[in-house]
Structure 1
């Protein structure tokens, strides 16, 4: 698990595009020909007004600050408005305006052909799942739309349809984490959200990978959380269970420890690479992952390997 740094320029740019394009579509659906602003993208097709929208929903979304909060509000802001509409007619209106299934349908005739799930995934460029850091979530769009991450709705869209297309409620993730996470209710002060980092130390994700073993060829992963927040978060995404398939990695690292001792990286540097590259590059070449926490999202298994390497005394 790792936080997604919302100060990164690519995240800010992706957010701005999401707001500009989605705002235009929603405004058109609400007001039709009475919304006369120019198209922000020439590839936008004709968008017709959605009839029968509940008056309270229309009034709320036509207030600019409200629509902005829905589309690009922070996780805290989304939490504050998630239950804004509760009646059957209001919910029906919301579902017709914020149609997630239409947005993920890459169809040349779709309203969202000019901007859809593939575009957001590509703009974000988050290469590994922020929940498990096990699986690549890279987006490939050439020559056709080939693959992209799934989008997890941290606030479930089935319960909170108003947030179905909210930028900070669309977490690019692997299918296993998206489909396999716990159905228990999440809240920002009890469970990890990739875009939310609390100022309260008790609500910050902090854990490490460790292991138990019967002998030198039989290891079992375990997660050691530093607080209740981290314990609930790692259990919700079943990290200990899903990492069982990677227990052979511990065997490999242990063999390095036994064969080459704790001086393995120094040996690689002096005997093979002749001091021509940095310590960080040596680590990446030796273990295939990044040592810098800020780059954990660039390579799968980065956190796990660093934690195990530290426990083994290799770094």
Structure 2
């Protein structure tokens, strides 16, 4: 998994807030008015009905069965419907409108820090902020959560949100697998969509409805990772790694496995380099010792990364590339030629390694750029492995440069 890198993180947050905050404020106000109508139908002002009737219908339909007819919420029938909305119901689900109103009032306080944090809070904080608000205002039932979702509806505001992510182009390939495209393109002439990625909700909208529009709860991903792989699995900070927080880095490395003669690359192992009892182990593979034993836990399991990276065609491709790396690592003359590349008048040995690698692999050298091309971490891990195992003479200098490249100031995560 690749960390999502954002060059101007604060600018990204503030632009998103400026775009989405007004829409959420309006929806919160509509929802509060709708709840006030349900609490006291006699207080309804006629000019309030049209903007909020869809909210009211959604609340009523979730509270009583059978659902009321759509026409029952037309302006001329609205007040009567609310006065009698439980009449004839075969099932009545209690929803505490007062608690919900108190929470909304809290979020609507001018310059509300709580609302800002829900929308643009840091990825490690947003779940705790959300859960604390629900605990404080005693929002616990599914139906109460569904009511709050109306103000943060991804269905209603998702087009606006997706357009923002498309325009920012923060990740060109799926952050979860680094295999499939996660970009958005339109035909410049017709305007029709050519490529379109998905936005996965890291924390589910069902359990965390007020995070449905949270900036760092929306992960650019491809369809397979988002729907068939993750599906309805409930993610948590304990058992799943958030790509806004970190990628696998070198805590998980792709390691080549060879045939009996040690010649042909037959498989790719996903080698976890952290302690078995560590937090990251759980995020990578759950609380099991082997992959696939707890498929709901750990990003490696959920996104089926072992299978995806042991695709036959991909193995054929990287087998040839790995041999190229090994040949260079073993050959002092080749290494000298790489270190002494002179391009446009420069002879920086670090830069020369970078140039050689990117020309050879057609991938980016630095971690911060891995999300811009597919299989970037795989290719770079194979380079590191080849020089780590086979480096001779000048190869040690290259190995040092490879280590240096992971430093933050050089381009590491």
TM-score between the two structures when normalised by the length of structure 2: 0.61
Question: Does the 8 A contact of 1:129 with 1:172 survive in 2?
Answer: yes
Q: In the alignment, does 2:96 pair up with 1:96?
A: no
Out of 170-179 and 93-102, give the one that drifted further. Answer: 93-102
Q: In the alignment, does 2:3 pair up with 1:3?
A: yes
**Alpha-carbon distance change, 256 to 148 in structure 1, aligned in 2, over 3 angstroms:** same
Question: Does the 8 A contact of 2:254 with 2:381 survive in 1?
Answer: yes
Q: Report deviation, 1:237.
A: 2.3
Question: Does the 8 A contact of 2:4 with 2:170 survive in 1?
Answer: no
Partner of 1:178: 226
Question: Does the 8 A contact of 2:2 with 2:371 survive in 1?
Answer: yes
From 92, 98, 102, the counterpart of 1:56: 102
- Report the secondary structure of 1:256's partner residue: helix
Flag the structure with larger Rg: 2
- Report the secondary structure of 2:267's partner residue: strand
Partner of 2:17: 19
Q: Report deviation, 1:24.
A: 0.4
Out of 75-84 and 21-30, give the one that drifted further. Answer: 75-84
Q: In the alignment, does 2:293 pair up with 1:219?
A: no
Q: In the alignment, does 2:187 pair up with 1:155?
A: no
Q: In the alignment, does 2:264 pair up with 1:196?
A: no
Provide the rounded CA distance (Å) in 2 between the counterparts of 1:305 and 1:219.
15
Question: Does the 8 A contact of 1:14 with 1:124 survive in 2?
Answer: no
Question: Any unmatched runs of 5+ in structure 1?
Answer: 35-46, 106-114
Give 1:78-93 correspondences, 5 Å limit.
78-83=126-131, 84=134, 85-93=139-147
**How many positions carry a matched residue from both structures?**
288
Provide the rounded CA distance (Å) in 1 between the counterparts of 2:186 and 2:106.
36
Question: Any unmatched runs of 5+ in structure 2?
Answer: 33-49, 60-99, 275-280, 286-297, 392-397, 399-413
- Report the secondary structure of 2:124's partner residue: helix
Q: Report deviation, 1:219.
A: 1.1
Give 1:257-268 correspondences, 5 Å limit.
257=325, 262-263=330-331, 264=334, 267=337
From 172, 176, 183, the counterpart of 1:131: 176
Provide the rounded CA distance (Å) in 1 between the counterparts of 2:329 and 2:125.
51
**Alpha-carbon distance change, 286 to 197 in structure 1, aligned in 2, over 3 angstroms:** closer
Q: Report deviation, 1:163.
A: 1.1
